[in-house]
């Protein structure tokens, strides 16, 4: 029996993967680094500590990982203050599920970004728990951020459902024993083998209902 639902943020509630990608690529090119075609896929789901270190070590930025992280987050906050890229049906889907279960958020985004998004979307009061992967040892596909969300909810992971869109997110949630509801990211879809690990596959947030999660 499902007792709580844990949402991902980027790619599930926000159409933001391309925005993160553009912000990082722009910084790398501005600072004389070496962007390559695998960079976006490599960094998807990484914690801020992991992707900022990757940009320093693999993409050749001279700045420290801490400085890289701060610069990218400031750029993302500025973009979101100008226009929040909520996916169609995001607010309605969260509200539908909040009527039945306590909700958590398990995101690779930094804490300031999570706070800004939920405040601007008027969703903050609906999430009992929010966890950033910068607050756990490892980012997705490791299970740490989902395990921490379940711990803070005080619900066994096996009694939670996770809503995910990406390969690393699906792997992360699946490793905890959570029921995985996948809404594949249209820009960066998970491969078929990974998608087959999901318990439920939906086409859009419009289909995300209590019946879809519990059925």
Residue 187 and residue 5: Cα distance in Å, rounded?
Answer: 24
> CA 167, 119, 207: angle at the middle one, nearest 5?
45
Q: Is 203 a known active-site residue?
A: no
Alpha-carbon distances of 35 from 72, 137, 201, rounded to whole Å? 15, 26, 33
Q: Which of 10, 15, 21, 165 is catalytic?
A: 10
Q: Which helix (H) or strand (E) holds 127?
A: strand 127-132
Alpha-carbon distances of 81 from 10, 76, 112, 119, rounded to whole Å? 16, 9, 12, 11
Burial group, residue 78, by CB count within 10 angstroms (0-12, 13-18, 19+): exposed
Q: Which residues pair with 88 in a beta bridge?
A: none
Q: Map 84-133 to HEC letters.
A: CCECCCHHHHHHHHHCCCCEEEEECCCHHHHHHHHHHCCCHHHEEEEEEH
Contact by Cβ (8 Å): 28, 34: yes
Residue 23 and residue 2: Cα distance in Å, rounded?
Answer: 37
List the catalytic residues.
8, 10
């Amino acid at each position: 029996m499902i007792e709580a639902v844990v949402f991902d943020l980027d790619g599930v509630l926000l159409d933001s993967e391309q925005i993160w990608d553009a912000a990082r690529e722009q910084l790398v090119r501005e600072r004389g680094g070496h962007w390559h075609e695998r960079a976006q896929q490599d960094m998807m789901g990484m914690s801020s500590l992991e992707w900022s270190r990757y940009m320093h070590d693999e993409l050749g930025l001279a700045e420290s990982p801490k400085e890289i992280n701060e610069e990218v987050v400031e750029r993302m906050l500025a973009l979101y203050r100008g226009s929040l890229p909520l996916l169609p049906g995001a607010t309605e889907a969260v509200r539908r599920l909040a009527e039945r279960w306590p909700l958590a958020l398990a995101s690779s985004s930094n804490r300031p970004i999570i706070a800004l998004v939920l405040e601007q979307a008027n969703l903050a009061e609906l999430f009992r728990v929010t966890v950033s992967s910068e607050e756990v040892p490892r980012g997705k596909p490791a299970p740490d951020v989902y395990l921490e969300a379940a711990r803070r909810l005080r619900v066994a992971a096996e009694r939670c459902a996770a809503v995910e869109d990406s390969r690393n997110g699906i792997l992360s949630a699946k490793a905890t024993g959570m029921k995985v509801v996948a809404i594949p990211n249209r820009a960066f879809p998970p491969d078929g083998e990974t998608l087959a690990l999901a318990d439920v596959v939906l086409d859009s947030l419009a289909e995300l209902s209590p019946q879809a999660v519990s059925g």
